[in-house]
Amino acid sequence: MIWTVSHRADPLAKVLADRHYSRQTPDSPQFVPPGRCLVLLAPGALWVTSWPEFARHHWPGAWVNTLFRRERGEGHASDYIRAAVAATRARYGDPPPLGMITFVDASKVRYKRDPGRCYLRAGFRRDGETEGGLLAFRLAPEDMPPAEYAIGGQSGLFACQFEPSSIS
């Protein structure tokens, strides 16, 4: 697993978030929309999955990849995306019926023949546009990789082990 669990106000992650085209208030210490979220950090990369209660788009209930930025790292961006989806499944369990959605502003990314190509390579499919003209890409539950915990993301009864001598 390449991702480590982070949080919505991680100063290291904020540096990457501030350079993403979707960032609305770079001076804010938080870079994630309200609601449930999973923030993942890797060297030179940041991913955010949001699970909003209310949606202003045509995919209500879907997990939303609200931010993905990869400035450096080994492998393809699509490998990072698949690993992030696996970590999202480990955190949240079974995906919602609509799976995961992400939006790409083709006018804000480097010119490519296929805007959103890394998402397409990761198994997402074009699924229309928003009313504001963003390209929508959706990953159906049956196309998702199996769940895999991000580093620091496994929790449960035995997640914290103590040495018998440290318990008083």
| CATH assignment of the domain containing 51 | 3.40.630.30
Q: Going by C-beta distance under 8 Å and a sequence separation of 6 or more, which residues neighbour residue 7?
A: 13, 39
The number of angstroms, rounded, from the C-alpha of 25 to the middle of its chain's C-alpha atoms is: 19
Q: Going by C-beta distance under 8 Å and a sequence separation of 6 or more, which residues neighbour residue 143?
A: 99, 123
Q: Average pLDDT in the 29-39 region?
A: 83
CA–CA gap between residue 67 and residue 80 (Å, rounded): 13
**Residues 126-148: tens digit of each pLDDT:** 999 888 888 999 999 999 999 99
CA–CA gap between residue 26 and residue 108 (Å, rounded): 17
**Residues 83-135: tens digit of each pLDDT:** 999 999 999 999 999 999 999 988 766 666 778 899 999 999 999 988 888 89
CA–CA gap between residue 78 and residue 81 (Å, rounded): 5
Domain range for residue 42?
4-166
Instruction: Give the three-class secondary structure for 64.
Output: strand
Residues in a beta bridge with 101: 64, 138
Number of domains into which the chain is organized: 1
| Dihedral sign for Cα atoms in the order 23, 25, 31, 37 | negative
**Model's pTM, two decimal places?**
0.83
